[in-house]
Amino acid sequence: MHPPANPLLAIVGPTAAGKTRLAVALGQRFGGEIINADSRQVYQHMDVGTAKPTSLERSRAPHHLLDIAQPDDPFSLGTFLALARGLIPEIRQRGHLPILAGGTGQYVWALLEGWQVPVVPPDPEFRAGKLREAEAQGGDTLHAELRAIDPQRAAELDPRNLRRVIRALEIHRFTSSPGFTGNPPSTLAQDRGEPVTALILGLTMERASLYQRIDDRVDQMMEQGFLEEVEKLAGMGYRIGQGPLASPGYRELGQHLEGELSLEEAVQRTKYQTHRLARRQYTWFKPADPRIRWLNAQDPNVDEQAAQLVEDYLRSAPPVIQ
């Protein structure tokens, strides 16, 4: 038995399963530094609605890739990979354990499977044209266009998230130009470098219990000032319902502020949209995936179970992800 030369721990699963709490507990126990793999927590001013780690949690274990972009800044998978791939060896050099934690499946698997993502620059003219199409014909038209060229990527995206649908179409257009393969965005997963050896822990629970936990957390977010956060972002000039501010809760509370929904309706729709998000996350983190060591998030001994798996992992190198 030999310890892995380049240890890496990943904690994955659906929203509200307790990934942050477990990452902090294991970070304290094993000298870990946490790398955020949530595509919304990279943005400043979006604290309550993204369930960003609290100041207390951040004081208990170092965190990285939080609050590094403005809500209207472009932040892509390629940006995440470049930053995360730079951080991991730095953390190891400090003698610490890198802990990747978050529910954005594309970020997690792109890093662990060694995806080689082309740097696709933003095309403002193309994006503006697609937004005009969406305004004239409805956002479902763009999602249908994506589904025709890349059904796998379309299935991963909420049709209401125009920013990501347009980005997928933008990537396809760019990679269809001379010098590229013309393959759809979902085939980025097939263009791989060296995979990364890691212990992957997944948190899950029975679906009805997860939905109840989501609902309770949304209620807690409202008590913590989620509506006030959305009001502040709108006051700063950000377009609620666009880009990262199309995430569950931000769009719905923005509609409430515009008089389109009552507060009760906005909160209920936020819960429903977060349920949908959890279902999409399970398409990335499949219960039958043998690479993931699944743990019941409701088990009172889940922390000890996770710690035992980490101890075993640090004593002997696991197989490389294929």
119 confidence band (pLDDT: 50, 70, 90): low
Residue 83: per-residue pLDDT: 95
Q: Tens digits of per-residue pLDDT, 7-48?
A: 999 999 999 999 999 999 999 999 999 999 999 999 999 999
Distances in Å between the alpha carbon of 212 and those of 104, 135, 231? Answer: 21, 35, 27
pLDDT value, residue 190: 52
> Among 163-177, 203-217, 250-264, which is the least confidently predicted range?
163-177
Residues 6 or more apart whose CB falls under 8 angstroms from that of 135 comprise none
Q: Distance of alpha carbon 73 from its chain centroid, rounded? A: 17
Transcribe 190-251 into DSSP letters. GSB------EEEEEE--HHHHHHHHHHHHHHHHHHTHHHHHHHHHHTT--TTSGGGGSTTHH
Residue 24: its pLDDT value, please? 98
How many of the other CB atoms lie within 10 Å of CB of 237?
8
- Distance CA(304)–CA(58), nearest Å, equals 21
Per the structure block, which two tokens stand in for 292?
């993931």
107 burial via Cβ count (<10 Å: 0-12, 13-18, 19+): buried
| Tens-place pLDDT, residues 181-221 | 455 666 655 556 678 889 999 999 999 999 999 999 999 99
Using one digit for the tens of pLDDT, what is the confidence trace for 145-169?
999 998 888 887 888 888 889 988 9
Angle between helices 162-175 and 124-137 (to 10 degrees): 130
pLDDT of residue 177: 60
- Buried-exposed string 110-137: b where 16+ CB fall within 10 A, e elsewhere: bbbbbbebeebeeeeeebeebbebbeee
Tell me the one-letter amino acid at 219: D
User: Which pair of tokens denotes residue 13?
Assistant: 């699963």
Q: 208 or 243: whose pLDDT is higher?
A: 208
- Does an H or E element contain 150, and which? none
Would you state the pLDDT for residue 142? 93
- The answer on pLDDT for 131 being more than 70 is yes
Q: Which of 77-81, 152-156, 251-255 is predicted with the least confidence, judged by mean pLDDT?
A: 152-156
Model pLDDT, residue 322? 43
Q: Domains in the chain, start-ordered, CATH in brackets? A: 9-117+191-315 (3.40.50.300), 124-190 (1.10.20.140)
pLDDT > 50? residue 180: no
Q: Which of 286, 280, 275, 295 is nearest to 214 (CA)?
A: 275
Phi, psi of 82 (to 5 degrees): -60, -45
Q: pLDDT higher for 152 or 82?
A: 82
Residue 204 tokens read as 């899950």
pLDDT band at 317 (very low <50, low <70, confident <90, very high): low
For 39, 150, 169, 205, the CA distances from 182, given in Å and listed in that order, are 26, 11, 12, 40
More confident residue, 118 or 77: 77
| pTM > 0.85: yes or no | no
> DSSP character for 43?
B
**What CA–CA distance (Å, rounded) separates 20 from 18?**
6
185 CB contacts (<8 Å, ≥6 apart)?
A: 150, 153, 168, 171, 172, 175
